[in-house]
Amino acid sequence: MPHTYITDGAEIYRQSFATIRAEADLARFTPEEEIVTVRMIHAAGMVGLEQHVQFSPDMAIAARAALEDGAPILCDAYMVSEGITRKRLPRENEVICTLRDERVPGMARDMANTRSAAALELWRPNLAGAVVAIGNAPTALFHLLNMLEDPECPRPAAIIGCPVGFIGAAESKEALMQDLPVPSMIVKGRLGGSAITVAAVNALASRVE
């Protein structure tokens, strides 16, 4: 006997977001933050994720304004850069991931660091006013924070810091919110990942669900 299921994509989205809003505790978020958080919950399939989401004041507003002004999006991993929905970007924003640049392996050896961290050195020409999306590597987030300790380093407009994992992920995100070099948001603890990070970017890029 054939399975019956909802086949209308728009209706699936409508019911999904309605379910999230009915079940998740979103009361502490501003309207701009709620849009982002709901999409992150949807990407994770996890009501309860909202308990771990933390925004610095006005981060969502700053990131959305930067995107609407044409800011590039700098990504630590191709799983992030390829997941961003280009048609949602308000100004055909450039999406940049430097991880596969041929210079990166040598830079990583010279720095005695990971390729993910070394690749960020190639962000410098595009870093000023950018929206940073780190969804994979804690070493990338730590290295970015070290870069931003230099007052001459260009400053991004906002940082989405959601690296995932068991070693360094929680610590790197805690360090981001303690240093807070620019408006930032995180998913606290070991949780995170590319899908959640992409969802945050897509929500900031367009309010359309």
Task: Give catalytic residue positions.
Answer: 42
Quickly list DSSP for 1-29: --------HHHHHHHHHHHHHHHS--TTS
47 with 24: CB under 8 angstroms?
yes
C-alpha distances out from residue 191 to 9, 131, 135, 171, 187, Å: 28, 21, 10, 12, 6
Please tell me the distance from the alpha carbon of residue 74 to that of residue 94, in angstroms, as a whole number.
9
Structure tokens given for 111: 């720095």
Crossing angle of helices 59-68 and 194-205, rounded to 10° = 70
**Which tokens go with 40?**
């992150």
Token pair recorded at residue 148: 């931003």
Cα distance between residue 42 and residue 26, in whole Å: 13
In the block, tokens 């430097």 appear at: 98
- Residue with token string 């699936």: 12
